[in-house]
A and B are shown apart, each in its own frame.
Chain A
Amino acid sequence: MAVDAEHISRRFGRRWALTDISFQMPRGSVMMVAGPNGSGKSTLFRVLSTVIRADQGRASVAGFDVKTHRDDVRRAVAFLSHYSYLYESLTARENLQVAADHAGLTRDRVMPLLDRVTLAARADHAVSTFSAGMRKRLSFARVLLQDASVVMLDEPYAQLDPDGFALVDDVVRDLKSRGTTVLIATHQIDRAQKLADAALFLDEGRVRR
């Protein structure tokens, strides 16, 4: 199992954001996670990508426990978050280079990736000049840089135009063909359904049957 979650629960203060979430994903599968705003999709992704810890339950991603083998999980996972993880004063190219450097990867992947997300023309412009859609594409490129075995995309379609939608679909199909496990949290249920092998519906932090 690429992702195995058992009774994951997480609260913020007195409110339970996730309650008793359990599911499994075989390697290479694509799962869509859907639900209204505030249903806990982002929280779930943050727990699985080890940004935050679960209060109860356990989970393993790519064969590693998220609590005890955090760094191993991080090495295996690439996470597209709500936050762009970008440095405003650096250029697109530099942002990717920084990520590559810190991940121990070579810098020659950077330009091809910028090409892929059609940002090559703006490679040397500061991110502060980018529109929301361009930042999203750049964050996408950052995710692809990491060559992860598990990719988690939190609202990948948000802020993108129709071309961008097509790009996301393309990339997900690509990843799937390479055996990468993909989780997609989204409101675009119709689009994602075409790509996904399975779906998880969340409502108020619980799995909705």
Chain B
Amino acid sequence: MIAALRKEMLLQWRTRTQLMAVFVFGATALLLFSFGVGPNSEVLRQFSAGFLWLGLLLSSTLTLAESFHAEMENRALEGLLLLPADPRVLYYGKAIANWIQLTLLGAALVPIMVVLYDAGTSRLFSLLAIIALGAAGLSAPGTLYAAMTAQIRAKQTLLPLLLFPLIVPALLASVKATSLLILGDPMRTLGSWISLLASFDAIYWALCGLLYGRVVEE
């Protein structure tokens, strides 16, 4: 498992310029959202959480797909499976690496959100926790579907097509929770949203790990 993680982190470090590019993509998306809505600060602030997560979601399609590019160009994944390496371990290694990457991306987009939408919060630690949980929700099924779609033709369209309906609960919960942090939580519902998000994460990290072997092996 450590071996898998080490490799993933090394690969990510080597391709870190791509992460920079994806960040710019995400930031641009946030900018475009505000153009879509109009220069009304109040409205922008209200929807800031939604924009942040939509931006992160769109960016995730890029990073998730990219994470399998290295595995497929020379069939390196097959090479590892033949050593033999346990597919479940490979899955969790990749999913964790993607999770870290998405969390970093999300955290990097926060300042953009603060500036563009005048949407900040003093509870930064909670915000980071929510971003981490939400990113975990994207990463688990995302890594599985990225592995699938990396092996076929229409990879760019199919990954979002498969992933987006699936992560609706994670998206709702993340947006709601982030929104409560920014706009205030008079009825103290933050905890329930975080529980929902955590449950989604737990279920999918378990389920996708179980199914991964069938997806990458013949």
Contacts and interface: CB of A to CB of B under 8 A. Distances in A.
Interface string A1-37: 0000000000000000000000000000000000000
Given A51-B218, A88-B70, A101 B11 contact: no
B80 A102 contact: yes
A71 B7 CA distance: 21
B82 A89 contact: no
B4 to A, nearest CB: 7
Interface string A23-62: 0000000000000000000000000011111000000000
Contacts of B79: 81, 83, 85-86, 99, 142
**A53, A75, A85, A126 pick with most chain B CB within 10 angstroms:** A85
Contacts of A49: 82
B10 interface: yes
Contact of A83 (B2, B6, B75): B75
Nearest to A105: B83
Interface in B66-85: 70, 73-76, 78-85
Which of the listed residues B11, B73, B74, B75 has the most CB atoms from chain A within 10 Å of its own CB? B74
A137 interface: no
A86 B76 contact: yes
A10 to B, nearest CB: 11
Nearest to A78: B82
Nearest to A49: B82
A154 to B, nearest CB: 12
Interface string A62-100: 000000001100110101010111111110001000110
Nearest to B86: A71
Nearest to A99: B83
Contacts of B11: 87, 89-90
B97 to A, nearest CB: 13
Contacts of A98: 3, 6-7, 10, 80
B75 A71 contact: no
B15 A89 contact: yes
Interface string A110-141: 00000000000000001000000000000000
Nearest to B72: A83
A85 B3 contact: no
A94 B80 CA distance: 14
A75 B84 contact: yes
Interface string B79-117: 111111100000000000000000000000000000000
Contacts of A86: 74, 76, 79
A110 to B, nearest CB: 14
A84 B78 CA distance: 10
B2 to A, nearest CB: 8
Interface of A: 49-53, 70-71, 74-75, 77, 79, 81, 83-90, 94, 98-99, 101-103, 126, 142, 146
